[in-house]
Amino acid sequence: GATSDARTVQAADRVRQLAAVAEVALRLEGMRSTASESCGTVVEGTVGPLHQLSSAVRLHSIHQHAQQQHTATLQAMRAAEEVHNEAQSEGALRALHESEAALEEAHVECVGRLDEGRRAAAEVERLLADGSAMGAEASALLDE
């Protein structure tokens, strides 16, 4: 089908590429055997910089990979810091709500105690009034 046709075309292209590479290699070999010593020097002079370029490309790739890892680590650290800060904020809000609830409870308790105090003060005033009335009656009886 279409898949095997595509594979056949791809295989034919690869065979052509290999043939072209083989032809270039044979020509280079022929030139090398007939070339003067200065040609060999030029080729050797080119090989050194090519190796350096290859090493530089490899180092650049290593540095890029390290930079990507550092960037990913920084992003993870920032995300962790945001989660930590959010958790602290939530903890502080929770503590604030708990404090407000405790304060409200204490307020209700204080209002209750004030009401009890008012009732007790009213009772004391009533007892004092009764005592004064009894004292007045006793004085009147003694005066008679």
Single pTM value for the model = 0.38
71 within some domain: yes
Is 31 within 8 Å of 39 (Cβ atoms)?
yes
Distance, in Å, from the CA atom of 28 to the CA atom of 22, rounded to the nearest integer, reads: 10
Distance, in Å, from the CA atom of 9 to the CA atom of 93, rounded to the nearest integer, reads: 69
Mean pLDDT of the chain: 83
Domain count for the chain: 1
State the DSSP code for 69: H
User: What is the per-residue pLDDT across 90-127, written as a single tens digit (0 to 9) for each?
Assistant: 888 888 899 899 999 989 998 999 999 899 888 888 88
User: CB-based contacts of 39: which residues, under 8 Å, 6+ apart?
Assistant: 31, 32
Q: For residue 84, what are the domain limits?
A: 35-143
Percent of the chain at pLDDT exceeding 90:
21
User: What is the per-residue pLDDT across 61-93, written as a single tens digit (0 to 9) for each?
Assistant: 888 888 999 999 999 999 999 999 988 888 888
**What is the pLDDT, as a whole number, of residue 71?**
92
76 within some domain: yes
